[in-house]
Amino acid sequence: MSVGESSEMFRHEGRAAIELPASGSACVRAGGDWLDSGSDGFRIRPLMEDAAGHVRTWLMQVDAGATAELHAHAELEQIYVLEGSFSDQDSTYGPGDLVVRAPDAMHTASSDTGALVLLTYITR
């Protein structure tokens, strides 16, 4: 899987994320426009992606009332809620909550109030 490709429902084209540094540090300034994720009401800002496609870190903005139907990701998924509320079929999560999903775990995604979340996808 190359940078920008994804096995899951949220896809992006446009601004590239920084690559995972081989040594030292790297920085991305997360300002600018949000990118269409391919799913209504969900926008992303790619932050970091390694060229091999093993790790991706994105910010995701979710509109109030947005819903993503039942789906799965091939990668391990971590969702850290920064602002608002984020829900799945099991619960509603608020700022400071971390949700971790095993690869291929079926789930929904939605927000009644709108949300800002930090997403990390890791391929084992």
Question: What is the predicted pLDDT for the residue at 122?
Answer: 95
The CATH class of the 35-122 domain is mainly beta
Query: How does pLDDT run across 37-52, given as a tens digit for each residue?
Result: 999 999 999 999 887 8
Q: Where do the domains of the chain lie? A: 35-122
Query: How does pLDDT run across 7-37, given as a tens digit for each residue?
Result: 345 554 555 688 888 888 988 777 778 999 9
Query: How does pLDDT run across 60-84, given as a tens digit for each residue?
Result: 999 999 999 999 999 999 999 999 9
Using CB atoms within 10 Å of the CB of residue 86, give its burial: 0 to 12 exposed, 13 to 18 middle, 19+ buried. Answer: buried
